[in-house]
Structure formats: structure tokens, C-alpha cells
Amino acid sequence: MSRRSQDENFDTEIDVLRTRIKDSDDRAVQEAVFDKRTLMDLYSLASKGVIDALGGSVCTGKEANIFKAIVGERELALKIYRISTSNFNAMQDYMHGDPRFGNVRGTKSAIVSAWTKKEFRNLSRAEEAGVRVPHPIAMRGNILVMDLVGKEGQPAPMLKDVELNNDEAKRVFDKLVEYISVLYNRAGLVHADLSEFNILYDDGEPVIIDMGQSVTLDHPLVRKFLERDIVNLTHFFRKKYAIGSEEEIWARLRSDKEKADQEKADRHKGTD
Ligand SMILES: Nc1ncnc2c1ncn2[C@@H]1O[C@H](COP(=O)(O)OP(=O)(O)OP(=O)(O)O)[C@@H](O)[C@H]1O
Ligand SMILES: [Mg+2]
């Protein structure tokens, strides 16, 4: 096929994909999200069979748009970072000090792509350690593909929008305390934007989302981020349900760390 007809072919395919992008807010938003490069990456994900079709919009966040998608019977969520409106300086600040991404330089799209990869890896690490997050499936360019949290195409609500009874609230708080500790002690991560906005409530269980900014323990501000996460979470539970304290989260972090250190020491002894 000649270069020209290849291009024409590609443009037609992109148009087909574009018409499948139903109900995605207004035109301006569509244009900010679906620039040519993003459409190409979407097309590539479709041709590899990672997604079959794109569905409606779930949410327009500060830096990314979330869409539904499907592959076979499986419901997916696509997080598409908008290259045009991303906060590059902040992104670089969060990547700086992370040995995985410390030296990302270059074009805006390279930075956003590194950021997308960072979120993908953070979700994978969190999941492996035992924290419930949306299962990450693939990433390409500025697009992160993950499982949709929710049922029958209906995304689960944010923690801030549900009304729990006392028992449920206590159970959810305890689970989140466990997750903060598992993230820190087992995954070596701090979420760094933990709040009732970035926790979904699905089937009685909290699910942590939005981990692009999460940092490894090498980050110079890791302590500050951990403190802020703990303050935010406790503030929400105290105000709405009159439960929870910062002290109990710190205590849990410490006792889990001691246990982990002890296990490590025992393993070393065993191999001496
Ligand atoms: N995997 C998912 N399943 C279901 N809903 C999701 C999923 N990921 C994100 N959402 C929904 O989309 C919203 C925005 O996602 P996220 O917080 O990751 O993006 P963001 O751009 O950082 O948004 P914001 O700037 O509002 O924090 C979430 O609050 C949630 O309601
Ligand atoms: Mg968010």
C-alpha cells in the first residue's frame, strides 16, 4: 500500500472510531481529549484487541477524562490524560526523586506518557501488595486502560457520596488504615492524594483509585505526603462518622513495619 493510501486508510479508521465516541461531553472537551495522537493510540489499542469499543464519559477530572469501554463482556475504564491541560511542573515534581521516572525530560507528550506509565505501575504494585484498586490492563501514550469499578456499566460511587451506617463506616475505615500500611510497608508507596474523592465504594468495599501522583519511599516529600493522606482520611471519617484517629493509623504503620522487619531478619537468619 502506498504511503498516501495508508494515511487515507488510517484517517478513515480514525473517523470510524471518532463516531463511536458517543456522548463524550461537548465538542470542546472532545477536541481537548481526542487529539490526533490520542486517537492513534486508541486505534492501536483497538487493533490489538485491548478494547472493542469506547462508551460514554464517566467523569471529566482536572487532568484526565474517564470513559467507559468494553472488551468482550468485560467493562473497562479508560483514563485519558489531556496533553493540552496537564500540569507539567507538578507532574515533574512528583516524578523527581522517584528512581523509576526521575529523569523524564522532553516534550509535553513524553511527560504525560511517563505519568500515565507511573499510574499504571503504581496500580500494579498496589494490587500485587493486596490493596484493592482497579485492575490495570494496559497503557499506551496518555491512555490508561483498567477495569471499571462498578456493576452493569454503572461506575461505583465515591466514598464522599455514600451514607454508611456505623458498622460499615468502622469496617471501611479499618480497611483503609490497613491499605495505607500495606501500601507503605509492602508496596513501598504513598498515595499522596488520598481522600474521599479518590476512594470508590463498591459492594461494601473501598477501592482506591487515582494513583498517578503516588510516590515511592525515596521521594524527598514522602513523609509530608503520608502525613497529608492520614490527616485527610481522618478528617473525613471524624467529621462524617465521628470515628478514627491519626494516632491509630501511625500505630498500625509502626507495628506492621516492625513485623515486616522481624520477618526479614528471620529470613536472613534462615539463610545464614
Ligand atoms: N476504574 C474506574 N472505575 C469506575 N470509575 C472510575 C474509575 N477510575 C476513575 N473513575 C471515576 O472517575 C473519576 C476521576 O478519576 P480520577 O480521580 O482517576 O481522575 P482525575 O483526573 O485525577 O480526577 P480529579 O482531578 O477529579 O481527581 C473518579 O472520581 C471516579 O468517579
Ligand atoms: Mg481523582
Say yes or no: domain 159-271 is CATH 3.10.20.340. no
Which ligand is the nearest neighbour of the Cα of 60?
A: 1
Concerning whether 210 is annotated as a catalytic residue, the answer is yes
- 3-state secondary structure (DSSP) of residue 12: helix
Indicate if ligand 1 lies below 6 Å from the C-beta of 63: yes
Asked whether the domain spanning 159-271 has the same topology as the one spanning 3-153, the reply is no
Indicate if ligand 1 lies below 6 Å from the C-beta of 64: yes
Atom of ligand 1 nearest to the CA of 64: 21
Residues with CB under 5 Å of ion ligand 2 are 198, 210
Q: Using CA atoms, how far apart are residues 146 and 166, in angstroms rounded to an integer?
A: 32
Contacts of residue 134, Cβ cutoff 8 Å, sequence gap at least 6 = 77, 123, 146, 147, 148, 149, 207, 209
How is the chain split into domains, by residue range?
3-153, 159-271
pLDDT level of residue 18 (50, 70, 90 thresholds): low
Say yes or no: domain 3-153 is CATH 3.30.200.20. yes
Per-residue model confidence (pLDDT) at position 109: 85
Per-residue model confidence (pLDDT) at position 65: 94
Whether 113 and 88 have beta carbons less than 8 Å apart is answered as: no
Cell of 127: 494490587
Please state, as a whole number, how many other Cβ atoms lie within 10 Å of the Cβ of residue 84.
10
Decide if pLDDT at 87 tops 80. no
Q: In this structure, which residue's CA is closest to atom 19 in ligand 1?
A: 61
Decide if pLDDT at 71 tops 90. yes
Per-residue model confidence (pLDDT) at position 225: 97
**pLDDT digit string, tens, across residues 24-63:** 455 666 667 888 899 999 999 999 999 999 998 999 888 8
Residue indicated by cell numbers 505519568 = 115
Indicate if ligand 1 lies below 6 Å from the C-beta of 66: yes
Q: Using CA atoms, how far apart are residues 112 and 118, in angstroms rounded to an integer?
A: 10
Per-residue model confidence (pLDDT) at position 106: 73
**pLDDT digit string, tens, across residues 206-260:** 999 999 999 999 999 999 999 999 999 999 999 999 999 999 999 999 999 999 8
What average pLDDT does the segment 160-188 reach?
A: 98
What average pLDDT does the segment 81-97 reach?
A: 76
